[in-house]
Chain A
């Protein structure tokens, strides 16, 4: 046996295999050049590599849209579902298999519009899911229609004279939902901040919701400042329990102090939409029980044989 083979053999036998980035690479991504989705994919892959997460222990669930092609590009288990329903499938996976790590990727239309009902209720369930919404403020795959987060006045194919409605403040919505336990916002062009935010979300037990601000290079290049040049409408949140703010970001945008344990402070920040979009961990409460823990606590752990005994006891009640 050659030395290399032996090493591989030993690694396999002793489960000492070291996962590299390649182990998490699925199909070659087919997103457009300049799309922020690439950065998020690479962020997730780095995270899995850093934590040496077994690829078979992860399920990536998505809906429909550009962002929802994500599972195809990640070499874990993946479920590319139907429009708006990713949260329901992911909840099912986690309820069925609490031992699996579940990642959900959606777009703004997918999550906030057609999936709106599931979004709200899933936040309340607080199932242990890492949720990433890639928010480019536009329907891109269907070719440029207005989304709930499209800014008022934006011209799209369905609003050629400008969107008439004011955009939805999704952060304040989530901070109003019982059991919201982790809410963060980051941007696709702040790579270090993105990585750290996704990592913090991954490590949170409960529904960790990350909204990633990004532009669609084709249909919303104007989103978040002209040509993606970040001028102003951001504020970084500095918080020892939150996402560290690199020096370089301090030059890009204002930085304010925040306490992510303080729900009222988080709500205030979320409502500052007119002037600034907060980047960082808005709210974190690790003590809220997860849905799967609460639900499974109601079920006895029994053997099949014991189940037959108990089922017979139920039948006794119906026996004449």
Chain B
């Protein structure tokens, strides 16, 4: 290992690992996030795959030294590709015992977790703090934790006066030692973070880093080695909201009309950042309704426009979703799902908006629904969504979630070209007699006319209308207009591929999912197959229309089961039976779509399911009759 100048190597036990999960938590403002991001970046540079999750306090200035003030990052490092946040945490670095307690209460820590904690609280003048510090650590120890109480703050103060401004660097140095990180790369990374500051500040921070490294070496007699191979292609690291925003620019979107809502807003922050240089604009509307109204008006007028929101915002946009379908105006709506109903869990994940996205509008409103399964797909889905919206004159709803929005993943850097942009706006004259809804009887498709095209003057109306765009109350015409809008969905369906099965192509159990659960489900399937179980999984990128061949795939398995993150009744609830059970959202759709007895396992914990939790649920289902 190349090492930083002043360091000398002492023998420590090297533990080889395929992967590990490490958390770094502190009070808001103590810098764990900054340090953890640097750690993740350096690990990626060395060739580890990773998935990071932000640990965010729900208030802006929570009282310090409380569970609610806990802020930081959770990083899954691996020698192989990572598609999700993984199982329980193996190592946690905490600046105080309440930060640690919040992770214990969240049931995130493995029993044999390695804990590195600042020992200053052991001698705190406040007896309550001394007591709770000891109790929390004793309880963890009893379960099997390996605890290192380290004078992090005390040591920090040997170099600087204000430990709040540097102990994160000391902790980062400790992690650098523990995971045998290349300290030169880490030091370079720290210098680049402080590149706008003076050389003295840079030097101080590198000194703190080195101090942490030495401190860990004195305290911990082992080091982890996660094999890393530098990537062959350039990789990018970003969160799902940034991927949606960059994907939107790559797709040729020029306008975004939005209203602030967690956890979607950061995607529009990113767009606001990019758009100025990319020739686009972001309009922050007066409310969620206006946000989609402006987007629709803009797209109607020929400008490629999107709106981004979350569940409560979707609810407010409902009438406009219907108008979009009725007027056959292209539009892309991104819904970064959070916990519901109502305000629910604003910062946390749920996959609860599938049915409301499909059915919220009055009447029948066929629309396309897509769901990216990881952060890389968050980028690419935007290009496909834009193309479908324009070619089919349809509403496309993209369902991501809070987990994708704030998680960070590494993926191959996308190749860019002008081909992903829409063609220049059509301003050619419209031949006399052209109808604005000149539906092709077979496909339901019709040519879109854009305001400004000479000779194309026509009316676009929310009322039922004839191919000429005129208000029409005729029974047959209403039937036909509905049929034509539905036909477009079938036309799209014909172009979709049969979903690819992960794992066994036939066997005892098929797991069906959508969105960001694909990663942990695939891992659970891997583990079951290692035990000889015949299990397969499919993930649906299109929820409307469904891809072809589902019934046929389902017929190859004894049991079919949906795993998703929305509420359903558990079979072992005493009130639950065939008459009373409420199924999960995707399972309801699949049951009606295929007439197969699709079961479901769902949880609304406000976090992704871990591969091991899914493994348990699938094992249980396999064991049942």
Q: Is A140 an interface residue (CB 8 A)?
A: no
* Min CB–CB distance B260 → chain A (angstroms): 15
- The stretch among A157-165, A171-179, A225-233, A294-302 that forms the contact with chain B is A294-302
Counting CB contacts under 8 A, is B320 at the interface? yes
Known contacts: A92-B295, A299-B281. The answer to whether A312 contacts B416 by CB under 8 A is yes
C-alpha gap A314/B422 in the complex (Å): 20
Q: State whether A97 touches B279 (Cβ < 8 A).
A: no
In contact, A117 and B300 (Cβ under 8 angstroms): no
Report which of A94, A298, A320 forms a contact with B276, defined as CB distance below 8 A: A298
Question: Which residues of chain B in 282-335 are interfacial with respect to chain A, using CB atoms and an 8 Å cutoff?
Answer: 283, 285-287, 289-290, 292-303, 305, 319-320, 323, 327
Q: Interface 1/0s, chain B 242-280, versus A by CB < 8 A?
A: 100010011000010100000000000000001111111
Assuming A57-B452, A117-B290, is B283 touching A95 (CB within 8 A)?
A: yes
- B132-191 with Cβ < 8 A to chain A: none
Report if A245 contacts B (CB, 8 A).
Answer: no
Measured between C-beta atoms, what is the minimum distance from B238 to chain A in Å? 5
Of B257, B281, B302, B457, the residue contacting A75 (CB under 8 A) is B457
Asked, given contacts A27-B470, A77-B457, A318-B238, whether A91 binds B463 with beta carbons under 8 Å apart, the answer is no
B448: min CB distance to chain A, Å: 13
* B1-59 contacts to A (CB < 8 Å): 41, 44-45
- CB of B494 to closest CB in A, whole Å: 31
B436, closest chain A residue (CB): A77
Residue of B nearest to A81 (CB): B462
Q: List chain A residues, Cβ under 8 A from B231.
A: 320
The answer to the question of A254 belonging to the interface, with a C-beta cut-off of 8 Å to chain B, is no
Q: Given A95-B283, A320-B410, does the pair A118, B290 have CB atoms closer than 8 Å? A: yes
Q: Are the CB atoms of A88 and B297 closer together than 8 Å?
A: yes
Taking a contact as CB atoms under 8 Å apart, the answer to whether A78 and B459 are in contact is: yes
Query: B320 contacts which chain A residues (CB < 8 A)?
Result: 82, 85
Contact in complex: B302, A311 (CB < 8 Å): no
A255 at the interface (CB under 8 A from B): no
A56 and B454 contacting across the interface, CB-CB below 8 Å:
yes
With A92-B294, A95-B281 as known contacts, state yes or no: A56 contacts B456, CB within 8 Å. Answer: yes
B460–A80 contact, CB under 8 A? yes
CB-based contact B290/A319 at 8 Å: no
User: B563 at interface (Cβ–Cβ under 8 A)?
Assistant: no
Residue of B nearest to A61 (CB): B297
| Residues from chain B with Cβ under 8 Å of A26 in the complex | 459
A298 and B236 CA atoms in complex are apart in Å by 28
**CB-defined contacts of B305 to chain A, threshold 8 Å:** 92, 96
Does A307 count as interface, using CB distance less than 8 angstroms?
A: yes
Partner of A299, one of B246, B276, B292, B295: B276
Chain B residue nearest in CB terms to A89: B297
A56 touches B453 (CB 8 A): yes
A69-83 near B? 1/0 per residue, CB < 8 Å: 001100111111110
Question: In the complex, what residue of chain A is closest to B323 when comparing beta carbons?
Answer: A82
How far is A310 from B273 in the complex, measured between Cα atoms in Å? 12
- Does A35 sit at the interface, judged by CB under 8 A? no
Interface class of chain A by DSSP: helix
In contact, A95 and B255 (Cβ under 8 angstroms): yes
Interface size grouping (class) on chain A? 35 or more
Q: Is B363 part of the binding interface, using a Cβ–Cβ cutoff of 8 Å? A: no
Chain A residues whose CB sits within 8 angstroms of the CB of B462 once the complex forms: 64, 80-82
- Flag if A56 contacts B455 (CB, 8 Å): yes
Q: Are B293 and A117 in contact (CB under 8 A)?
A: no
Does A22 lie at the interface of the complex (its beta carbon under 8 Å from any beta carbon of B)? no
Interface: A51 (CB within 8 A): no
A75 to B468, CA, bound (A): 13
Q: CB-CB < 8 A to A152: which residues of B?
A: none
Q: 0/1 per residue, A280-317, Cβ < 8 Å to B?
A: 00000000000000011011111011011011101100
| In the complex, residue of chain B having the shortest beta-carbon distance to the beta carbon of A27 | B470
Interface assignment of B549: CB less than 8 Å from any CB of chain A: no
B222 CB within 8 Å of chain A: no
Contact residues in B for A134 (Cβ distance below 8 Å): none
Residues of B within 8 A of A54 (CB): 454
Given the known inter-chain contacts A72-B461, A320-B45, please indicate yes or no for A93 contacting B297, CB distance below 8 A: yes
B window 435-456: CB within 8 A of A:
451-456
Q: Is A121 an interface residue (CB 8 A)?
A: yes
Chain B residue with Cβ nearest A60: B459
Total contacts A-B at CB 8 Å: 200
Query: Is B365 located at the chain interface by the 8 A CB criterion?
Result: no
Bound-state Cα–Cα, A311 to B301, Å: 25
Give every chain B residue within 8 A of A90 (Cβ-Cβ): 297
**Residues in B neighbouring A79, C-beta threshold 8 A:** 297, 300, 327, 459-461
Q: How far is the CB of A21 from chain B (nearest CB, A)?
A: 15
Across the interface, A298 reaches (CB within 8 A) one of B237, B281, B417, namely B281
Q: Does A100 contact B (CB under 8 A)?
A: yes
- Bound-state CA distance A91–B303 (Å) is 13
Given A312-B416, A315-B414, answer yes or no on A96-B238 (Cβ-Cβ < 8 Å): no
The reply to whether A310 and B277 contact each other, CB–CB distance below 8 Å, is: yes
Q: Which residues of B contact A89 (CB under 8 A)?
A: 293-294, 296-297, 300
**Chain A 16-51 against B: per-residue CB contact (8 Å), 1 yes, 0 no?**
000000000011000000000000000000000000
Contact B459 A91 (CB under 8 A): no
Across the interface, which residues of A come within 8 angstroms of B410, CB to CB? 320
Cα of A214 to Cα of B132 in the assembled complex, Å: 75
Given contacts A56-B457, A80-B460, contact A96 B303 (CB under 8 A): yes
Minimum CB–CB distance from B136 to chain A (whole Å) comes to 37
Residues A92 and B293 in contact in the complex (CB < 8 Å), given A59-B301, A97-B303, A100-B451: yes
- B104 contacts the other chain (CB 8 A): no
Check B417–A95 contact: CB distance below 8 A: no
B303 contacts which chain A residues (CB < 8 A)?
95-97
Within 8 Å by CB of B458, from A77, A117, A300, lies: A77
Bound: A59/B298 CA distance, A = 12
A94 to B452, CA, bound (A): 12
Q: Do the beta carbons of A99 and B452 come within 8 Å of each other?
A: yes
Closest chain A residue, CB of each to CB of B329: A79
B502 in contact (CB, < 8 A) = no
A320 partner residues in chain B, CB cutoff 8 A: 41, 44-45, 231, 234-237, 410
The answer to whether the Cβ of A217 comes within 8 Å of any Cβ in the partner chain is no
Scoring B275, B292, B300, B451 by chain A CB atoms within 10 A of each residue's CB, the highest score goes to B451
Given known pairs A295-B281, A298-B276, A299-B280, the reply for A93 and B298 (CB within 8 Å) is yes
Contact A88 B460 (CB under 8 A): no
**Apart from the given pairs A71-B461, A92-B293, 12 other A-B contacts in the complex at a CB distance below 8 Å:** A59-B451, A88-B293, A89-B294, A93-B300, A120-B286, A298-B281, A300-B276, A301-B279, A311-B274, A311-B416, A318-B238, A320-B231
- 12 contacts across the A-B interface (CB closer than 8 A): A26-B459, A27-B470, A56-B454, A77-B459, A79-B461, A80-B463, A82-B319, A88-B294, A92-B293, A95-B294, A320-B236, A320-B237
Pairs A-B, 6 closest by C-beta atoms: A92-B297, A88-B293, A96-B303, A96-B298, A121-B286, A89-B297
> Which of B's residues lie within 8 Å of A, judged by CB?
41, 44-45, 231, 234-238, 242, 246, 249-250, 255, 257, 274-281, 283, 285-287, 289-290, 292-303, 305, 319-320, 323, 327, 410, 413-414, 416-418, 421, 451-463, 470-471
**A contact residues vs B (CB 8 Å cutoff):** 26-27, 54-57, 59, 61, 64, 71-72, 75-82, 85, 87-97, 99-100, 117-118, 120-121, 295-296, 298-302, 304-305, 307-308, 310-312, 314-315, 318-320
